[in-house]
Chain A
Amino acid sequence: MKKQLYLNFSYSKWIWLFGGVMIIVNLTLTAFQSADNIQPLIEIINILNIIALGYTMSSMQSIHARIRENDSHQFLYALPVRKSEILRADCIYHIIMLLLTVAVFSSYVTIGHKYHLYYGLLMLVGASLFMMSLYNIMFSQTWIQNVYIKTFIYFIPLGIIFMFHVMPLNNTFIYDLDLGAAWEFYLFRIPFIVLVAGALVYAVSYYFAKKKIIKSDII
């Protein structure tokens, strides 16, 4: 399994370097946020953070897309490692990259003390686990076939959550809105439910995919 993790990390070097750079940039900005003339920079930093989070959350898909693009799956998947270990390494790798996502996000929210956005992060991480479960099941049967379509499907709920949960959540705090119990439940309770459910589904899907992967053709 360590072998496959090594492959994943070497194939996604630039993503975790990008994530690391964003953490340093965010923390530097936090240290100097009281300085004048920082506001125009914040807009660029917001966009860069969104891009970094997008890449860290979909790093597994980036690796598979790169393997597909290089057409190197025959070679890489004929290296000496068991199929079930490939799956396990990919699952663990996604969790590690979600932790990196949390780290980048945590450094970002310190700029302007936007800690309320953590509810949005919980929702995004939960949805990512849900969608990654689906992705893993598909991967266990068809490996990297149609990887671009699978990546697009993975991003759909994340995009919806960003637009219809993270943005309203931010507005609620910026404008200090009291939207009632239903919105309270949606904005502040559902994220925990999604996260726990996502984690459970992710664990169950791993065992399901593990059974499937040993019976599937890689190419």
Chain B
Amino acid sequence: MNAIEINGLYKQNGPFKMEDLNLNISKGYITGLIGENGAGKSTLIYHMIGLMKADRGGIEILGSEDMEKDRSELLNRIGMVFAEDNFPKHMSPVGLEKLLSVYYDRWDSDIYHNYLERFKIHKNTKIRRLSTGEKVKLSLAVALSHHAELLILDEPTSSLDPTFRIEFLDVLQELMIDEEITILFSTHITSDLERIADYIVMIDDGEILFNMEKEALLDTYKKVKGPNDILDDEINELLMGRQTSSLGFEAMSNSPETLTELFGSKVIVEKLTVDEMMYFIKNNKRGV
């Protein structure tokens, strides 16, 4: 069962184009959305929450295909944490609650105040006086206080200190105990995804490069290193995003066993990180 189904999404926005994009986000899991700046992560998210309208194609979100018709109901069921500080700065967290309790049908004041206390956010301080980290914490408190079924986090951890980042990830993991919640987590900090994500989606130039289960992805693809003299056309077929230097080559491969069988200890097979995977896939796409 999918929380989000995107079919043939087409959007032209200035020079940026998202062409016939298809993507399914499984319900009850944490999906990490990765990609470079300008790859289309935020554009994709804006379509999901109705801030942008597709030129063509459809998005089915939480069972609804008509975002405008069901916008009010859907956005009640979606908790959103934006990358940037978007709050009305003249309000305090308490003043903000008055506004949000009008908008959200299932606003839970107790949960909100619990999170404000847990995250040590000053309740009566104007939002403009809160630090960047505090604003992200407030954003998370808001997103978690109206019983959302789908949490969409657009690079929330980039401005958080390491201590709170870990706490933040713990909060997300706590939420996952109730498997009715789905989390889509867009981030640059891929180590966060290695820690909590179930699925990883990579987007580049408005195109989905892969959408795979994290464990399967990291089990299938490995980093291989070896001397340049073993490279030929057949070996190159087994490598992705190869980088060579005078010391040897480094690449990603989904057939590391074949290489080990052929060359034994001449090749070194290592576990990939998500960062390295992004790097090799980008290289491969560029035809390096």
Residues of chain A touching chain B, judged by Cβ–Cβ distance below 8 Å, are 2-3, 6-7, 10-11, 66-67, 70-85, 214-219
CB atoms of A216 and B51 under 8 A apart: no
Total residue contacts A-B, CB cutoff 8 A: 81
Known: A74-B86, A76-B88, A214-B68. A81 touches B103 (CB 8 A): yes
The listed residue with most B CB atoms (<10 A of its CB), out of A6, A74, A84, is A74
CB atoms of A219 and B51 under 8 A apart: yes
CB atoms of B87 and A215 under 8 A apart: no
CB atoms of A82 and B68 under 8 A apart: yes
Query: DSSP class of B's interface residues: helix, strand, loop or mixed?
Result: loop
CB atoms of A77 and B68 under 8 A apart: no
Look across to chain B and name the residue whose beta carbon is closest to the beta carbon of A81: B72
* Bound Cα distance A79, B98 (Å): 13
Look across to chain B and name the residue whose beta carbon is closest to the beta carbon of A2: B102
In this complex, the interface size class of chain B, counting residues with CB under 8 Å from chain A, is 20 to 34
Look across to chain B and name the residue whose beta carbon is closest to the beta carbon of A4: B103
CB distance from B18 to the nearest CB of A (A): 13
15 more contacts with CB within 8 A, not counting A3-B103, A72-B86, are A6-B99, A70-B88, A71-B85, A74-B86, A75-B82, A78-B50, A78-B80, A79-B104, A80-B103, A81-B71, A83-B68, A83-B71, A85-B72, A217-B52, A219-B52
* Bound Cα distance A2, B105 (Å): 13
Look across to chain B and name the residue whose beta carbon is closest to the beta carbon of A214: B68
Known: A79-B103, A81-B72. A72 touches B53 (CB 8 A): no
CB atoms of B73 and A80 under 8 A apart: yes
CB distance from A13 to the nearest CB of B (A): 10
* Bound Cα distance A134, B185 (Å): 40
CB distance from A217 to the nearest CB of B (A): 5
CB atoms of B102 and A80 under 8 A apart: no
Instruction: Tell yes or no: B39 within 8 A of A by CB.
Output: no
Chain A contacts of B52 at CB under 8 A?
217-219
Offer 24 A-B interface pairs, CB within 8 angstroms, sorted by A: A2-B102, A10-B98, A10-B99, A66-B90, A70-B88, A72-B88, A72-B89, A73-B86, A74-B82, A75-B82, A75-B88, A76-B88, A78-B75, A78-B80, A79-B75, A79-B103, A79-B104, A80-B76, A81-B75, A83-B71, A84-B68, A214-B53, A217-B53, A218-B50
- Which one of A11, A71, A79, A214 lies within 8 Å of B84 (CB-CB)? A71
* Bound Cα distance A71, B87 (Å): 8
CB atoms of A218 and B86 under 8 A apart: no
Instruction: Tell yes or no: B49 within 8 A of A by CB.
Output: yes
Chain B contacts of A3 at CB under 8 A?
102-103
CB distance from A148 to the nearest CB of B (A): 18
CB atoms of B49 and A78 under 8 A apart: yes
Chain B contacts of A219 at CB under 8 A?
46, 51-52
Chain A contacts of B76 at CB under 8 A?
80
Instruction: Tell yes or no: B184 within 8 A of A by CB.
Output: no
* Bound Cα distance A217, B103 (Å): 21
CB atoms of A80 and B74 under 8 A apart: yes
Chain B contacts of A79 at CB under 8 A?
75, 100, 103-104
Look across to chain A and name the residue whose beta carbon is closest to the beta carbon of B96: A75
List B88-128 residues whose CB lies under 8 Å from chain A: 88-90, 98-100, 102-105
CB distance from B275 to the nearest CB of A (A): 28
- Which one of A11, A80, A218 lies within 8 Å of B104 (CB-CB)? A80
Bitwise interface map of B from 43 to 80 toward A, beta carbon under 8 Å scored 1, else 0: 00010011111000000000000001101111110001
Chain A contacts of B88 at CB under 8 A?
11, 67, 70, 72, 75-76
Chain A contacts of B73 at CB under 8 A?
80
CB atoms of A75 and B71 under 8 A apart: no
CB atoms of A70 and B89 under 8 A apart: yes
Known: A72-B87, A75-B87, A81-B103. A215 touches B53 (CB 8 A): yes
